[in-house]
Each structure stands twice: as structure tokens, then as C-alpha cells.
A and B are shown apart, each in its own frame.
Chain A
Amino acid sequence: MAGGRRAPAICQEYKISVAQELMNAMPDPFARAPDEALLIAFANGDAEAARALTVRLLPRVLAQATRMLANTAEAEDVAQESMIRLWKQATEWRQGEALVSTWLYRVTANLCTDILRKRRGGVSLDQIAEPTDGTPSVADQMQTNTRMQALSDALAALPERQAQAVALRHLEGLSNPEIAQIMDISVRSVESLTARGKRALADIMAGRKAELGYDDD
């Protein structure tokens, strides 16, 4: 009986290695295609292009929304809505005018600030984003969640354009020219928005320093 069970295991292993070799021999046709090419392929009826585009872009969109909102459910709703808007835009996409990623950053940032605006009336208490690396203790994880929520609430208190500029600069790590393109403003305006936004954010967060686990010394 045991011998009978071993044989299929070897066969399965062989099958996997063959499949792996086949995959290596035939690279994914979508792997090197630019986002725009995939979007146009989708607009022409290629459902596989949409799948490839989703696998490539959805994690980034979800991460952006999670960082700004610190709320998994809201971030998922925003990510879904951003992607649905992308599908709707596909047939009217103007080639060479904007990068798909730039367009998505803009749509996601706008959807997030819409939610932050609504949140100003009453602070959302159900969170949370998941911390990534290592296996932090429950206390550390709670501390991180509290900080992320405090950051999101502070962003909600900023004027919308400042909140978007600060989030794109300091949470997404984008350059000022990239942010200028996303927000459709000049680089100088981006510099001004991020500087004022960061200063306002620091002032707001200063009041919660002890709560967030930062000593005053």
C-alpha cells in the first residue's frame, strides 16, 4: 500500500518539473507587455489581458488605498472601484497620453480622499492594515495599527490636495515630477503642497505622540 502511494508522488514530481520546463520554454506572452498594451488588448476583447493587468496592478492599488485609509474593507472597496473604472476607461483610452499607473494613482487618491472627507464627521475605528515583515508581537502589531490609523486620521484632517500630495510623496515614495503628472499641477505646486502638508501632519501627530509610543525626550 505504501509502495503504491509512492509511485504517483514520483509521477507528480516529474509532471511538475516538466510543466516548469514548459513554462520556462514558453514565457508568459503578457509578462513583457506594457500596461497600455494589455489595456488595449482587453478593450479588443482579450479577457486574459485583463487578468494579467489585474495581477500586475491590483496589489499596488490596494497598497496605496490601505496606506491612506488604514482600513482593509475600505481599501478593498477603493481598489475594486479603481480597477472597475479602468475597465470602463479601456475603450476610450487615449494611447500615449498618460501611463496606466499614473491614471490609477490619480483615481485611487481621489477615491481615498473622498472617504477621508466623509470620515471627518466621525473617526472610523475598525481597521486594519497588516504589518509585513517578521512576526511582530501582538503588542507591536497593535502599536503599528494605532499609528497607521492615526496617520490616516491626520491625512483626513488636511486639505484634500495636501493629503494627496503628502501620501503620494511619503507613503508611495513617488518623485515630485511624478506627483505633478498624477495631480496635473506644476512641480513647484507639488513642493509647496507636500511641505505644507507634512508640517500640518507633524503638528496634528504631535498631540498623539505618547499614545503612539514616541517619547518626548
Chain B
Amino acid sequence: MSLPRKILVDGEQDTLSSEAVEESYDFDLFVIGAGSGGVRASRAAAAFGAKVAICELPFHPISSEVIGGVGGTCVIRGCVPKKILVYAAQFRGEFEDSRNFGWELPDQIEFNWKKLLDNKTQEIVRLNAVYKKLLSNSGVTILEGEGKVVGAHKAVVSLPDGSKQHYSTKHILIATGSRAQRVNIPGQELAITSDEALSLDELPKRAVILGGGYIAVEFASIWKGMGAKVDLVYRKDLPLRGFDDEMRAVVSRNLEGRGIKLHPGKTLSELRKTEEGIRVVTDTGDIIMADTVLFATGRLPNTKRLKLEAVGVELDKSGAIKVDEYSRTTVPSIWAVGDVTNRMNLTPVALMEGTCFAKTVFGGQPTKPDYHSIPSAVFCIPPLSVVGFSEEEAVQQGKGDILIYTSTFNPMKNTISGRQEKTVMKLVVDSETDKVLGASMCGSDAPEIMQGIAVALKCGATKAQFDGTVGIHPSAAEEFVTMRTLTRRAPSGKPKTNL
């Protein structure tokens, strides 16, 4: 006779005696959405002995309300294919830079978009299969179709053939992610989102991108690197709102330096199809002709079709699921992780939330996700990577003065290649405790370098400890341990930069 599983949640009493029999359910956990968060939570829960099912829409590179795929946004139409395209785009700069290093290359180097696209698609198809295998090897039941919550312990799956299957479950986890939003302007149907941008049949010769976030600047770099003429239109003075202002200015300068035309303080008012292409009109009356217009104006949580309010799950005004510190919704048996909760929308954060959820619900170890010192990167060319507080955040939240250390230098490679592009690094330090509160870098390999810096910040490293660390020479990374001279002191509560 198999013993009943003891599933404790933070705050619940252990009222189960060894003779008590739990109510019978088809599953201990039913997960809707097999993206990063859902897959991690499923596998971790199964490892704790839970009987788990996960539901996901049929696979396709371009998502819709009825198409998705195991792996989710990140693997199929997000980080992974995007990074493949970034690698491809970086070669243009490498070819340009190689000449002064003695490489004799023809002036005209051909780029084959179709070949890249085929290889990219092949890779995401492979990864989709890998994720399915990971789930089945963990003992997770995979259900293909559209999942919905119909009760506190009930889920239904609409199968591709139109039939419906009903399941009972002790816990439900919603991990349906987010979707690119479109802008409501005349001619909006002529524009695409990041989904389609990663699977275009033809590479645009002229692209207009609306948005100033990381997706916008990444695609600007990608298409420019592949030879397109790129116009980037955004509302603010600088792109990447929410990042350190000084680093935003660096990214802006680099984009412009690489030949991307910036249109700050503007938005789009109309798109119109003409014989010469798409006629793009800005709110200031500028006219730009384009082959492709990309809306990169943010993403919205995927909750619209779930009808969660009907079962008592509360949403915020953007449609994100409201959760507590343990990822629990307003219905005790229903939980949510990842972009659908709109906390910190990053793949590794969804993974962390999924792990914490499984530990809390099935591992008997109530665990809150820790959002302190989470590193991130913007894969523009060259990339930006950050961890911890920006200068502005540190100044607002700091008790004492904030010490700013910066290093701006011409990377060794550029001294030979002749490329006019500086690398910028920055440390934000609390003057009272000497703790490093934040670090940022814009330059080659920034994300690779920042991962190590993130470990140091997580451990509470001080500026003295950075200074006491021996550098690796010659490298750009060593600048982080040789920033001896204070650039400026910012009194807390009063933002101040030298820009």
C-alpha cells in the first residue's frame, strides 16, 4: 500500500496522521504553461515525489493564442533565437575589425539570412524535443492543448482535435508567460512583433523599430549588423528606461556610432502601405520609409483566455496574477510564477520562482524567491550588463552618500582595429558600509564578466575587497578591481551624474 504524500505549505498545520487518507486527485500538481518557470517547477516537484502534469500549446516558432510549444518564449521565440541572431550580427563588426589585424577580406562579404534562419529553426526544434525529454524523464505527464482553470482543484485541457479533458488536482501552477503587445495606431496590422522578427522570410533592408526597451535595442543591433538601415523611435530622451542613466547614454552613443538612426522623444502615429514600402509617420510629422516595422513596446501577461477571475484569482490592472511572497494567488491551491506575475521578467528569475514554489509546496521547505542582486544583460552590440542598484536607485535608497567609481577606456582590441567605441564600467558604493551596491558595464563580453561580479555582490562584497583582488591581465574585466579613483560622490536622496 502506498503511503499518502504529505504536502505541507507554509502556514499549514501538519494535521495528517499516518492513518489519514488525503482526498483523491488525478494529480498533485497541474501546471499550465511549459516555459522556463513551468518546466522547472514541474521537474522540481516531481523530484520531491509529486505526481505532476504539465499542459502546453502545440509547437510553432511564432506564437498565438492557440500555438506555443514546450520550452516557452525563451527557448522558442525569445532569448535563445535572439542570441543566435546577435552572434550572427556581431560578425559584421568582427570582419571590419579584422583588417587591421592582418586579415585580407573581400570588400563585399555576403550574408545569407535564409541559411541562418534554417539553422536557428533547427536548433529551437531540437531544444523543444530536449525539453519534452527532460519532462518525461522526470516522470511529468505532458498534455498538448490549451489549459484552463475551472475550479480551485480543477483544470480542463482543450485538445487540438477540439475535445476536452478534465482533471482534478491538489495544486495548480499558472506559468503562461507573457506576449508582445501591439500599438493601436492606423495601419498597425502592417507591423510585426519580436515573435515574427525572429522568423522573417526575408531580412529587411530598411527597418523602423518602435520602443526603447531591451528588445528594441537588441533588434536594432541585430538588423544593423546584418546590413539593414535601422531607425529606432522611442518616447524618452534615452533608451532603456529603468537602467542606470549613465549607461543608457553609453548605449545610445554606441547605437549611433554603429550607424543606427535614433529618434528620441517621438512615437509613431500611422503606418501606410505604398509601392515603395511601408510609409511610417511619427507624431512629429517625420516620414520614414521601411520594409519592416517592429513594435517593441513591452509585453503583457498571458491571462486573457484563462478567465481566472471566475475562480477567484485576482489580477492587477495589466492582467498580471497577484501573488504573495511564496507565489501563491488569492486562491490557496492556485499558484503562479514567471512573466505572468509581472515581478521581474527574466528567464533565470522564473527558474528561481519555480524552484522556490516546489520547495515550498512539495519539499516542506517554505522558500521565498530572493530578488536581491539579480544580474541581467541587454544583448545590443556591444552589450550592456548590470547587477544590483543603478546610481539613481542607490541615491534614492541609500542612507549615506553614494560613491561612484567609473572607468571609460578604449579596449585593447580597438587600439589596433581603429574602432571608435569605448568600454564603460561603473561601481556604485555605499560610503558608510563600503559595500558595492551595484555594478554595470557596457562593452564586449559584459554579460560574461557580470555573472562573476554578481556572485561577489550576492556575497556582500565591499569596495576594499574588490580593490584587494588581483586582476587578470590583459583583460577588460581587471578594470573592476583597479578602479581606485573616486569619480564623484552623490549625496543620498539627490540624484546627480556628470552627464
Say whether A and B bind each other.
no
- Chain A residues near B (Cβ < 8 Å): none
